[in-house]
Amino acid sequence: MNVMEHGENNRANDSDQELELEQTILAIVKNTLPAVRFAKNTAKALRRLSSVGTDTLVSALEAGSSWFQLKKARNENFLAELAKLPRGQSAIGVKVADNLVQEQRRIDQLVFEAIEHIQADESSESPGESEKVGKSESSDEIGDDWLECFRREAAVRTQGEMRETFARILAGEIRHPGKFSIRTLRTVGSLDQSTATLFRKAASLRVSMELVAQDTQTGSRIYILDARIPSLGGQLGDNFLENEGLAYSQLIHLTENGLLHSDYDSWSIYNYSIFQQELVRNVPIIPLFHQNQNWVLKPLPKFNASSKLKIHGAKFTTVGQELLHIVDIEKNAKFLEKLKTHLKQKNVELIPFAVT
């Protein structure tokens, strides 16, 4: 056998082993993960990101993502290689190897935390929703470039809140490939803890129009038509929301980090959120979303039905919008009352939206 034939056989064997490993992981995931329709993307994320070996994968999935269990479940290849280093190896070389081990451990933990998020979301679905969606696998596949970018950005994050953000992003991408762009991954990778906290405040004050669409393979998906921090008749550039923790300088900071547009007095029309009883069958109602609740706008006697209801404020960028539903919203009763007062001045009343 010549050298060329030997090389081709090696490549063929490697390809066969790779395919066998992919199929093994997929089979394990299907048996342990309730979200059957996400099994393919979950298996791919595990294969491309995690160092956990297939012989311990089942126990790891069942055990959860506690640090102790993950330490038991991780693949020992990295540590074995580290132990083989010559005693004369430079301290720098040992440090580099140790850093690689630590980064891989962080990625392993993030992957399992993402799977836990998917399991929790599945268990929270009502029986009716589960029946509508069905159990077929999603045809959309999570991208190789996306996974590689995720690895680079997430591996170096050590702080709790930022790591939780990456776990939620991975879970969302497994469920809905394309939900988070590579640009969003890079943006999150560049954020520090204080910016993440500031963004949570902004997300908690937002108003938005959002459509929820049902997919037979991936379940419900949210499409944001507009999302902004309402100025409530004031000027955000004049520190109008300083008491809410969003002074002008803080808005500028969010803009510089790619989360808000720079025009803080832009506007959008919210007429689709106005409920009119006589037109309800012909006019779609798109609820106004605020503080984790859907609302509708009830026209008051002086409201002109032909007028445009504009809500001014700082609009979230595409990256900002992608991140809105993975942050924990902080309730703010005082701001809600200010929003209601502002809308009454526009001759509409903010009332809870009840789906019948």
Q: Is residue 5 included in any domain, yes or no?
A: no
Last residue within a domain, chosen from 190, 221, 251: 190
- Domain shared by 254 and 345, yes or no: yes
Helix (H, G, I), strand (E, B) or coil at 16: helix
**Distance between CA 126 and CA 55 in Å, rounded?**
34
Q: What is the pLDDT of residue 155?
A: 87
Give the residue numbers spanning the domain of 331: 206-352
Short-list 222, 36, 240, CA closest to 138? 36
- Domain shared by 219 and 334, yes or no: yes
Segments in the chain below pLDDT 50: 3-4, 6-7, 11, 14, 18, 21, 25-26, 28, 32, 34-35, 53-56, 58-80, 82, 87-88, 127-136, 278-280, 282
Short-list 257, 258, 260, 259, CA closest to 237? 260
- C-alpha distances in angstroms, 216 versus 33, 129, 140? 19, 10, 12
- Domain shared by 220 and 272, yes or no: yes
Q: Is residue 199 included in any domain, yes or no?
A: no
Contact of 154 with 147, CB cutoff 8 Å: no
- Domain shared by 177 and 221, yes or no: no
- Token code pair at residue 39: 């099994």
Q: Is residue 216 included in any domain, yes or no?
A: yes
Q: Is residue 4 included in any domain, yes or no?
A: no
Contact of 191 with 135, CB cutoff 8 Å: no
Q: What is the pLDDT of residue 156?
A: 83
- Domain shared by 252 and 120, yes or no: no
Phi, psi of 257, deg, nearest 5 = -95, 10
**Distance between CA 187 and CA 56 in Å, rounded?**
34
- Domain shared by 186 and 311, yes or no: no
**Distance between CA 63 and CA 324 in Å, rounded?**
30
Looking up tokens 């850093």, which residue turns up?
99
**Distance between CA 157 and CA 140 in Å, rounded?**
28
Last residue within a domain, chosen from 132, 156, 190: 190
Helix (H) or strand (E) run with residue 289 in it: strand 288-290
Phi, psi of 338, deg, nearest 5 = -65, -40
- Domain shared by 148 and 84, yes or no: yes
- Token code pair at residue 209: 């129009």
Short-list 60, 174, 34, 188, CA closest to 112? 60
Q: What is the pLDDT of residue 130?
A: 44
Number of folded domains that form the chain: 2
Phi, psi of 57, deg, nearest 5 = -65, -45
Contact of 43 with 29, CB cutoff 8 Å: yes
Q: Is residue 22 included in any domain, yes or no?
A: yes
Phi, psi of 269, deg, nearest 5 = -90, 130
Contact of 85 with 93, CB cutoff 8 Å: yes
**Distance between CA 313 and CA 206 in Å, rounded?**
9
Rg (CA), the chain: 25
Q: Is residue 244 included in any domain, yes or no?
A: yes
**Distance between CA 32 and CA 15 in Å, rounded?**
26
Contact of 135 with 33, CB cutoff 8 Å: no
Q: What is the pLDDT of residue 337?
A: 97
Q: What is the pLDDT of residue 179?
A: 93
Contact of 140 with 177, CB cutoff 8 Å: yes
- Domain shared by 137 and 186, yes or no: yes
- Token code pair at residue 325: 């539903």
pLDDT in tens, 129-153: 444 444 445 568 899 999 999 999 9
**Distance between CA 164 and CA 24 in Å, rounded?**
28
**Distance between CA 67 and CA 352 in Å, rounded?**
42
- Domain shared by 294 and 254, yes or no: yes
Q: Is residue 315 included in any domain, yes or no?
A: yes
DSSP state of 276: -
Short-list 291, 288, 295, 294, CA closest to 331? 291
